[in-house]
């Protein structure tokens, strides 16, 4: 893993600050919707991997993944046919399975590829590194907010850096925040999204069902357990499922959990029945995705398959004057 002692301490402090923020929001009854909260716990990250493997999730959220990833690889190869080396950074890498389709295809096309998974979770980085076994891998543990401070990389000649935001990564962020992060990068950024078609209530119900599983249960409970909560503090049904609520409105998946009994957290008593808004994630139609990515990508948003599209923020031609940490 690429990380000096100073940066390692900074990232550990970032995690502790997020846990403290989570606690304070619990005590104040505030929403717990910040996506970073749900990548602090190994349990949450494992839950994410399990949810992504569920049949409902594959049907409604992760469909035609291989076709989309191969289309992205083709796009990169054709845009950078004059380059020999590609550094592919995978922001919010998860277990690295979908990005492996891209890197393997680029290698088959004759490129020398370095895979760079970037995540706040050490467990995710470890899984992604193992998934890309046999490739050149340089992993980076960091928050998305630090993206502009880490890049651009110092790279050899004939090398291009391409940043990938794959799957539903950008859907977990507020519009202004993620676009500002992307605009802070001086290299090429490719944002991938599988667009949805919502024609009726049945389509909404299918999306909701994709989030009603034990994988999501682990994701939601992970940060609470880091704060001292136990599973028994929450309400479960007879089959052992967490009674978390999921609704789909205004293009957004919204989840919530409710306490089953009084809980004391750092001297504050939180009453049974207290409900917390938890994970929120957007699902886009094509027009919604175009609008969402317009601040950083303009009108450079195009379909690359029957169901998937990409938004491209091209590298800035201006020289970066700020001194950056050297990672390569």
Domains with residue ranges and CATH for the chain: 30-61+203-282 (no CATH), 65-196+285-313 (3.40.50.150)
Query: Which residues, listed in sequence order, are joined to residue 247 by a DSSP beta bridge?
Result: 254
Per-residue pLDDT, 324: 33
CA distance 198 to 219: 26
How far is it, in rounded angstroms, from Cα 261 to Cα 235? 9
Q: Which of 33, 27, 41 is nearest to 255 (CA)?
A: 33
What was the pLDDT predicted at 326? 37
- pLDDT tens string 84-105: 999 999 999 999 999 999 999 9
How does strand 301-303 pair with strand 308-313? Answer: antiparallel
Q: What was the pLDDT predicted at 58?
A: 87
DSSP characters over 58-100: HHHTS-SHHHHHHHHHHHHHHHTTT-SEEEEEEET-TTSHHHH
pLDDT at 68: 92
Indicate the SS3 state at residue 36.
Answer: helix
- DSSP code for 168: T
Segments of the chain scoring below 70 in pLDDT: 1-5, 7, 147-153, 315-328
pLDDT of residue 320: 35
Name the pTM for this structure.
Answer: 0.89
């Amino acid at each position: 893993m690429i990380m000096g002692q100073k940066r390692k301490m900074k990232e550990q402090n970032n995690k502790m600050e997020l846990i403290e923020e989570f606690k304070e929001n619990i005590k104040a009854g505030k929403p717990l919707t910040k996506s970073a909260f749900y990548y602090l716990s190994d349990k949450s990250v494992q839950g994410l991997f399990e949810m992504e493997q569920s049949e409902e999730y594959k049907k409604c959220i992760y469909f035609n993944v291989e076709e989309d990833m191969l289309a992205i690889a083709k796009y990169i190869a054709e845009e950078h046919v004059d380059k020999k080396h590609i550094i592919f950074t995978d922001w919010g890498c998860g277990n690295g399975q979908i990005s492996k389709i891209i890197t393997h295809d680029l290698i088959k096309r004759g490129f020398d590829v370095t895979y760079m998974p970037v995540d706040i979770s050490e467990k995710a980085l470890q899984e992604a590194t193992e998934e890309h076994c046999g490739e050149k891998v340089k992993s980076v543990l960091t928050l998305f907010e630090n993206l502009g401070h880490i890049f651009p990389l110092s790279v050899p000649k004939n090398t291009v850096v391409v940043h990938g935001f794959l799957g539903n990564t950008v859907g977990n962020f507020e519009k202004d925040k993620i676009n500002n992060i992307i605009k802070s990068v001086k290299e090429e950024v490719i944002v991938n999204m599988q667009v949805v078609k919502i024609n009726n209530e049945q389509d909404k119900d299918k999306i909701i069902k994709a989030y009603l599983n034990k994988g999501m249960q682990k994701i939601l409970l992970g940060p609470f357990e880091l704060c001292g909560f136990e599973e028994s503090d929450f309400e479960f049904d007879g089959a052992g499922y967490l009674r978390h609520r999921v609704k789909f409105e205004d293009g957004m998946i919204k989840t919530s959990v409710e306490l089953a009994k009084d809980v004391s957290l750092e001297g504050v008593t939180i009453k049974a029945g207290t409900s917390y808004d938890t994970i929120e994630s957007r699902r886009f139609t094509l027009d919604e995705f175009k609008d969402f990515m317009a601040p950083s990508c303009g009108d450079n948003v195009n379909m690359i398959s029957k169901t998937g599209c990409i938004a491209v923020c091209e590298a800035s031609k201006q020289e970066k004057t700020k001194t950056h940490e050297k990672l390569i």
